[in-house]
Amino acid sequence: MATRVVVDPITRIEGHLRIEAEIKDGRIVDAYSSGTMVRGLEIILKGRDPRDAWAFTERACGVCTTVHALASVRTVENALGITVPPNAELVRNLMFAAQYMQDHVVHFYHLHALDWVDVVSALKADPKGTSEIARSISRWPKSSPKYFQDVQNRIKAFVASGQLGIFANAYWGHKAYKLPPEVNLLGVAHYLEALDWQREIVKVHAIFGGKNPHPNYLVGGVPCAINTEEVNAINIERLAEVGTLLDQAQTFVEQVYLPDLLAVASFYKDWGAIGGGLENYLAYGDLPTNGYGDPGRFKFQRGIVLGRNLNEVVPIDATDPGQIQEFISHSWYEYSDGDQAGKHPWVGETKLNYTGPKPPYEHLEVEQKYSWLKTPRWKGQPMEVGPLARMLVAYAAGNAEVREEVGAALKQLQVPVGALFSTLGRTAARGLETRLVARWAKEFYGQLLTNIKNGDSRTFDNAHWDPSTWPAEAKGVGLSEAPRGALAHWIVIKDGKIDNYQLVVPSTWNASPRDPKGQRSAYEAALLGTPVANPEQPVEILRTIHSFDPCIACAVHLYDESGSYRHQLDVF
Amino acid sequence: MEPKPLTMWEQMQLQGYSRRHFVQLCGWLAAAAGIEYSALGKVVYALETKARPPVVWYHFQECTCCSESFIRSSHPLVADIVLDRISLDYSETLQAAAGHQAEAALHNTLTKYKGQYLMVVEGSVPTAAEGAYCCIAGRSAMDIVQEGAEGAKAIIAWGSCASNGCVQAASPNPTSATPMHELLHGKPLINVPGCPPIGEVMAGVIVHLLTFDRLPELTDTGRPKAFYSRRVHDTCYRRPNFDAGLFAESFDDENARRGYCLYKLGCRGPVTYNACGVTKWNEGTSFPIQSGHPCIGCSEAGFWDNSPFYRQLPSFPGFGIESTADRVGAIAAIATGVGVGIHAVATGVRDARTRKADEANKGGE
């Protein structure tokens, strides 16, 4: 007999997400993913100044802050024919890299780790053993037995207080947790260290963009001026701080994040065969080295891997009305020409039309409409996006650095290439690309210094700033790679104002409901076959969903086949 | 029987901290909250005798930038706040439990600590479509927020979403996004606006409550005076350029490269009350104007509709006036256009002199 599981809210994500899954014989046989919150940003953008759009869209997400701002300024620049100066491209790349490092580290330690690391088990660890393990995998200096003893004492005191705060009521002691106590203690210690570290790297955003979260961007370049002879501009003191921050970040990524990732992964190799889901991977690519107009020289390649064929990269054209389309057959919207249609974003429509159950409700009408996310498709096919897609597309495109990173990780874990297509593969790909981005950031930094040394300090192109220079009508698209995957904005400008603005974000690709043909998107597909040992404590669902790093609002409950909720257990 | 929660001093002793360390920490906390040194004794007493206050942190229509900003706080560090100072019993961003287990943790606190917990809200609540635009665990945000408020000791509205509706409340506000002060009545409520608020400001508000067991003094729009009683314009280090009539005319022009005033590029500093010019962002690293972009006014109600952002403010109110955005608009229309005019004339002399000096410097390069 099948059991239906609902998880709502899915915590340790951005936004409101709900998963309903059907479990039979200890495995998931069907799943539904629902975004349960909407704000209507696309509606709000109509009629506004295109140069302001970055600020509105940046507020789509405060976790992957900056990425929508970048996509937005590229969209408007594409529409108006603006090419930004090389320094602006480099500053944008540095902000992009800082975002990846902060976001991926926070995802690993604060949003994902507690699916693999048992905090309670860490209390039983021998700190000497933890120290030996730490020193065997890294030269990170904070590794003495006394250090781990102090961390353990701190957690012991916390538990002794009887107020368990963020650790209350979780799945501690679940048999799916496989790490020895000593490794759990290592994970807890680095959870705390990473929380302290993450506020450092984002200072790169504060230096160039004034603040983080939500630094400032600018159509035509970047707002910060460079002047080596002025205290009121980006000068050598500011640049030196960026350089120091990048060095420190690279050290943390290489000496803490990557060794931890591989150490934890080595205990969970079975997850290299779970959670694969879709077989198509899409990446727009990013990090230009010769300007945004030359995608052939991006650090992350652009293209599609179809059917897990790593010998071919299929090109993407985001302006082709027949390639990328959004469907709403299972989403709470309506289209002027019927709900079965697919629409390219330039002619996209956003009209809210809630037809679900009136809250409070116990479950959604999954055969009808059940989400606030639209369903994007490429030539009618579902696509997974994100770090794994980026690594696979780059691998298939022959990117030597990516091939080396991926090959070394597979060798160290002693798992086959097929293990990439999994929950574990997704989590590992995120770490591997972080190491690459940390390295590339220093290249960009070096180039910026060289440009300035050679006398080029331009950061902004003024030629098309004034709306009087714009055509009466213009269309644009801006592509980027958010930490969570392929991100694009489309704009139609009429008479100097936004006539239509559409965002197709990574979690729309991954977390969307079914399309009119009944095809599942990435979350729903990846959950198929996932084992769930105890439906009352579905930590396995969290592992696979968190491996995508969701950026929406979700919720999950447990209910049995008759629709009644199961009682939850007091776990702690 | 429930074990008695340990006080912070007891916990620190267990962790091996000395009395000296403890008092030092109290000093940092006091500094973070803007408390005078003479009141340090009160901080020490508070942390010696109090168990960690329970906090429930709700997310509704938001982007989680407030949570992200909160974890950027450098004093106190967020790990210290979450592990040692408060008991964060519900937080969709950080808590380990999900689904039913998370909801049970929430309801346990609402029941067990009725009348004692601190409720903090990130996000606005949509009231259209009978609440269907934001649901958690199958319940509407409208229901959830009322349930939480009922037993709350005090409520903090984090960020512009909870304080004034922020971006989703911008015209035409398709979901009827509504801020807390319009929904919740009869409870102490603190607005901490900004998109997001500065991390140290958020931490400072919590530490203030924790230490003094009372609300900080608030402005007439319900914001802590300590952080929201001065205009960005009045605390801006570029203000002397404004007074001298030295303005950037375009991004990256000669004047922008000298760090002149961004008023003509649309700066909202003159109509924005926030701590950016003093506290700054990310451990004092910078703030928007310092990094060359005009203030967009993100702590003010209705700032999204006070756009285009790059259009120069037509005029702005005089010194020291605390006002709502509506009042600002009304006053701006009649009174201060004159004021700015006079101001411009008065500074014109200095303007010419400074420009001359600048030209002389340029010649010497």
Tens-digit pLDDT profile for residues B332-363 = 444 333 334 334 333 333 334 444 444 444 43
Could you give phi then psi for residue A63, rounded to 5 degrees?
A: -85, -55
Query: Kind of pairing, strands B152-158 and B135-136?
Result: unpaired
Partner residue opposite A9 with nearest CB, options B98, B281, B310: B98
* Interchain proximity B99–A352, CB inside 8 Å: no
Q: How confident is the model at residue B44 (pLDDT cuts 50, 70, 90)?
A: low
Q: How many CA atoms lie within 13 A of A194 on its CB side?
A: 26
Q: Residue B279 is part of a domain; what is its CATH number?
A: 4.10.480.10
Give the three-class secondary structure for A560. Answer: coil
Q: How confident is the model at residue A565 (pLDDT cuts 50, 70, 90)?
A: very low
Boundary-marking domain end, from B227, B250, B269 = B227
Q: Please, which residues 152-171 of chain B have a Cβ atom closer than 8 Å to chain A? A: 166-168, 170-171
B163 in any annotated domain: yes
Is the minimum CB–CB distance between B15 and chain A shorter than 8 Å?
A: yes
Is the minimum CB–CB distance between A548 and chain B shorter than 8 Å?
A: no
Tell me the torsion sign for CA atoms A95, A101, A104, A106.
negative
* Interchain proximity B252–A41, CB inside 8 Å: no
Q: Residue B165 is part of a domain; what is its CATH number?
A: 3.40.50.700
Chain B residue nearest residue A541, CA to CA: B98
pLDDT at position B37 is 57
**What average pLDDT does this structure show over B299-316?**
91
Q: How many CA atoms lie within 13 A of A377 on its CB side?
A: 22
- Reply yes or no on whether the pLDDT at B324 is more than 50: no
CB atoms within 10 A of CB A22: 18
Least trusted range by pLDDT, from A161-170, A499-508, A534-543, B18-27: B18-27
Partner residue opposite A158 with nearest CB, options B59, B83, B170: B83
Boundary-marking domain end, from B200, B227, B254 = B227
HEC-encoded secondary structure of A133-173: HHHHHCCCCCCCHHHHHHHHHHHHHHHHCCCCHHHCCCCCC
Chain B residue nearest residue A119, CA to CA: B96
Is the minimum CB–CB distance between B207 and chain A shorter than 8 Å?
A: no
- Reply yes or no on whether the pLDDT at A29 is more than 90: yes
Compute the distance between CA of residue B207 and CA of residue B192 in angstroms, rounded to an integer: 14
B282 in any annotated domain: yes
Compute the distance between CA of residue B197 and CA of residue B66 in angstroms, rounded to an integer: 7
DSSP letter assigned to residue B333: I
Contacts of A208 in chain B (CB under 8 A): 291
Contacts of B171 in chain A (CB under 8 A): 44
* Interchain proximity B71–A199, CB inside 8 Å: yes
Q: Which stretches of chain B are assigned E, i.e. beta strand?
A: 54-59, 87-91, 117-122, 125-126, 135-136, 139-140, 152-158, 177-178, 189-192
Are B245 and B321 in a shared domain? yes
Is the minimum CB–CB distance between A226 and chain B shorter than 8 Å?
A: yes
Distances A243 to A97, A239, A446, B285 between C-alpha atoms, Å: 13, 6, 9, 14
pLDDT at position B35 is 56
B33 in any annotated domain: no
Least trusted range by pLDDT, from A220-229, A395-404, B34-43: B34-43
A237 burial type by CB count under 10 A (0-12 exposed, 13-18 middle, 19+ buried):
exposed
Tell me which residue range forms the domain holding B89.
Answer: 52-227
Are B216 and B114 in a shared domain? yes
Partner residue opposite A352 with nearest CB, options B139, B174, B257: B174
B45 in any annotated domain: no
Contacts of A362 in chain B (CB under 8 A): 138
Are B162 and B293 in a shared domain? no
Compute the distance between CA of residue B270 and CA of residue A16 in angstroms, rounded to an integer: 36
B118 in any annotated domain: yes
- How confident is the model over B169-192, as pLDDT tens digits? 999 999 999 999 999 999 999 999
- How confident is the model over B53-81, as pLDDT tens digits? 999 999 999 999 999 999 999 998 999 99
* Interchain proximity B51–A459, CB inside 8 Å: no
B15 in any annotated domain: no
Compute the distance between CA of residue A533 and CA of residue B111 in angstroms, rounded to an integer: 31
Contacts of B134 in chain A (CB under 8 A): 16, 36-38, 553
* Interchain proximity B79–A192, CB inside 8 Å: yes
pLDDT at position B125 is 98
Beta bridge partners of A491: A476, A501
Is the minimum CB–CB distance between A110 and chain B shorter than 8 Å?
A: yes
CA nearest A41: which of A71, A19, A21? A71
Compute the distance between CA of residue A272 and CA of residue B324 in angstroms, rounded to an integer: 56
Q: How confident is the model at residue B9 (pLDDT cuts 50, 70, 90)?
A: confident
Compute the distance between CA of residue A480 and CA of residue A86 in angstroms, rounded to an integer: 17
- Reply yes or no on whether the pLDDT at A202 is more than 90: yes
Are B163 and B261 in a shared domain? no
Select from A11, A349, A352, A559 the residue whose CB has the most chain B CBs within 10 Å, as the one to mutate to test that interface.
A11
Q: Please, which residues 167-206 of chain B have a Cβ atom closer than 8 Å to chain A? A: 167-168, 170-175, 177, 195-196, 198-199
Contact predicate B169/B177, CB 8 Å: yes
Are B210 and B89 in a shared domain? yes
| Amino acid symbol at A180 | P
Compute the distance between CA of residue B8 and CA of residue B317 in angstroms, rounded to an integer: 46
Distances A329 to A355, A367, A370, B152 between C-alpha atoms, Å: 12, 10, 10, 42
Instruction: Look at the block and give the residue holding tokens 């530490």.
Output: B207
Least trusted range by pLDDT, from A234-243, B4-13, B236-245, B249-258: B4-13
Token pair of B97 as six digits: 């439990």
Contacts of B145 in chain A (CB under 8 A): none
Q: How confident is the model at residue B17 (pLDDT cuts 50, 70, 90)?
A: confident
Domain count of chain B? 2
Contact predicate A13/B132, CB 8 Å: no
Is the minimum CB–CB distance between B286 and chain A shorter than 8 Å?
A: yes
- How confident is the model over A126-135, as pLDDT tens digits? 999 999 999 9
**What average pLDDT does this structure show over A313-326?**
98
Query: Kind of pairing, strands A497-504 and A485-494?
Result: antiparallel
Strand (E) or helix (H) holding A97: helix A86-106
CB atoms within 10 A of CB A463: 11
B209 in any annotated domain: yes
Contacts of B296 in chain A (CB under 8 A): 55, 216
* Interchain proximity A37–B308, CB inside 8 Å: no
CA of A363 to nearest chain B CA: how many angstroms apart? 7
Q: Please, which residues 524-543 of chain A have a Cβ atom closer than 8 Å to chain B? A: 537-538, 542
Least trusted range by pLDDT, from A268-277, A362-371, B276-285, B319-328: B319-328
- Reply yes or no on whether the pLDDT at B221 is more than 60: yes
Q: How confident is the model at residue A554 (pLDDT cuts 50, 70, 90)?
A: very low
Q: How confident is the model at residue A570 (pLDDT cuts 50, 70, 90)?
A: very low
Are B275 and B174 in a shared domain? no
Compute the distance between CA of residue B327 and CA of residue A444 in angstroms, rounded to an integer: 47
- Reply yes or no on whether the pLDDT at A564 is more than 90: no
Token pair of A432 as six digits: 């591997």
Q: Please, which residues 405-464 of chain A have a Cβ atom closer than 8 Å to chain B? A: 457-460, 462
Is the minimum CB–CB distance between A193 and chain B shorter than 8 Å?
A: no
**pTM score:** 0.89
CB contact burial A243-264 (16+ within 10 A = b; e otherwise): bebbeebbebbbbbbbbbbbbb
pLDDT at position B50 is 64
Token pair of A224 as six digits: 């910060």
**DSSP one-letter string for A363-398:** S--TTS--BSS-EEEETTB--B-SHHHHHHHHHHTT
Contacts of A7 in chain B (CB under 8 A): 98-99
Are B196 and B222 in a shared domain? yes
Are B196 and B247 in a shared domain? no
Are B63 and B117 in a shared domain? yes
Boundary-marking domain end, from B210, B227, B244 = B227
Token pair of A222 as six digits: 């970047």
CA nearest B127: which of B65, B179, B195? B179
Catalytic residues of A: 14, 61, 64, 68, 484, 507, 551, 554
| Amino acid symbol at B94 | L
Compute the distance between CA of residue B184 and CA of residue A245 in angstroms, rounded to an integer: 43
Are B83 and B182 in a shared domain? yes
Are B221 and B238 in a shared domain? no
B30 in any annotated domain: no
Are B91 and B151 in a shared domain? yes
Partner residue opposite B61 with nearest CB, options A37, A165, A570: A37
Could you give phi then psi for residue A87, rounded to 5 degrees?
A: -65, -35
Is the minimum CB–CB distance between B283 and chain A shorter than 8 Å?
A: yes
- How confident is the model over A13-27, as pLDDT tens digits? 888 899 999 999 999
